[in-house]
Amino acid sequence: MKIELASSYGFCYGVKRAIRIAEEHPGSHTYGPLIHNKDEIARLKETYDIGLVEDFEEAEKVDSIVIRTHGIPKNELKKLKAEGKEVINATCPYVTTPQQIVEQMSKEGYSIVVFGDRNHPEIRGVVSYADDPRDAFVVLEESELEELPLKSKVAIVAQTTRKPADFLKIVNALVLRCKEVRVFNTICNATFENQDAAAELAKRADVMIVIGGKHSSNTKQLHSICKNYCDASYLVENEKELDPAWFEGKKLCGISAGASTPDWIVQNVIDRIESLTR
């Protein structure tokens, strides 16, 4: 059986960067998990003594704190710095951009629309950069725009992981309603590159293995895309979850991995599949 890796898979630029930054600060703590992968978090703990704090109260108790890729609210960042903590900012630059846009546009008197999930840490962070919280609105659907007390000039940004087509729907609705709309496309392509590559491979593969955390929405999405094209698509966290029966009589095994899956786990899975099918 042949094994083929998707042309794009695994860690995105922002996650690679955050892990490198954390590794450069052994003994520090990350504010929230750096990535949705417990094996990688365990490796960082074991090799670099990188701890984890889950909320702001806990973050205030440690000396050295790594801000994860999604970023944190502006007031929390300010407070941690004011308390004299060593704050190591690993916020992905693609997330810093919408934060800065929101800050600038709200200073210039624009209403701010953020297309995204209000409960996601990235969006809680981005919205917090508005000068006046009453001028910033988070929406997921066009219909939500109707009730909003928007000014005649509006700026819009998107959560980095949103679909461009959905973003355009909100933009269209805004253009019809407001005199001036400043559109900032803050969607990050990394997710779609992995998705497109997985779909292309799943179309040809007899069995598809998607590697990633079971709680990672990005991995689950990859798995469901693969399922559309290849019935025999399986999501595993690591090589221990592989079932030899999946590979019986198969010619091509495709492999993809979520944006939080490190290469060493991918390699372990490949090694194990090879040993099962030898």
Q: Which residue is nearest to ligand F3S (CB)?
A: 14
- The torsion angle over the Cα atoms of residues 64, 67, 72 and 75, rounded to 10 degrees, is 30
Binding mask 159-198 for ligand F3S (x = CB under 6 A): -x---------------------------x-xx-------
The interface region with ligand F3S, picked from 6-14, 78-86, 100-108, 145-153 by CB under 6 A, is 6-14
| Alpha-carbon separation of residue 60 from 53, 66, 92, 119, 254 (angstroms) | 9, 12, 22, 22, 45
**CB–CB of 1/272 below 8 Å?**
no
The count of chain residues that interact with ligand F3S, using the rule CB under 6 A, is: 13
The interface region with ligand F3S, picked from 12-20, 75-83, 250-258, 262-270 by CB under 6 A, is 12-20
**Counting contacts by CB under 6 A, is residue 257 touching ligand F3S?**
no
Q: Classify residue 274 by its DSSP letter.
A: H
**Counting contacts by CB under 6 A, is residue 259 touching ligand F3S?**
yes
Among 6, 9, 10, 14, binds ligand F3S (CB under 6 A): 14
Looking at beta carbons only, is 117 or 144 nearer to ligand F3S?
A: 117
Looking at beta carbons only, is 111 or 194 nearer to ligand F3S?
A: 194
**Counting contacts by CB under 6 A, is residue 273 touching ligand F3S?**
no
Binding mask 100-139 for ligand F3S (x = CB under 6 A): ----------------------------------------
Looking at beta carbons only, is 8 or 191 nearer to ligand F3S?
A: 191
Choosing from 40, 76, 122, 237, the catalytic residue is 122
Helix or strand run (H / E) with residue 87: strand 86-89
Task: Write the DSSP assignment of 103-155 as a string of letters.
Answer: HHHHHTT-EEEEES-TTSHHHHHHHTTSSSGGGEEEESSGGGGTT----SEEE
Reduce the DSSP state of residue 156 to 3 states and report it. strand
Reported as half-sphere exposure (CB side, CA atoms, 13 A), residue 89 has a value of: 14
**Counting contacts by CB under 6 A, is residue 69 touching ligand F3S?**
yes
Looking at beta carbons only, is 116 or 239 nearer to ligand F3S?
A: 116
Give which of 100, 97, 159 is closest to 131, Cα–Cα.
Answer: 100
Q: Examine the residue annotation and report whether 54 is marked as an active-site residue of this protein.
A: no
Query: At a CB cut-off of 8 Å and minimum separation 6, what does 157 contact?
Result: 98, 101, 102, 112, 113, 114, 115, 126, 184, 186
Q: Which residues bind to ligand F3S, rule: CB under 6 A?
A: 12-15, 69, 92, 94-95, 160, 188, 190-191, 259
Looking at the annotation, which residues are catalytic?
122
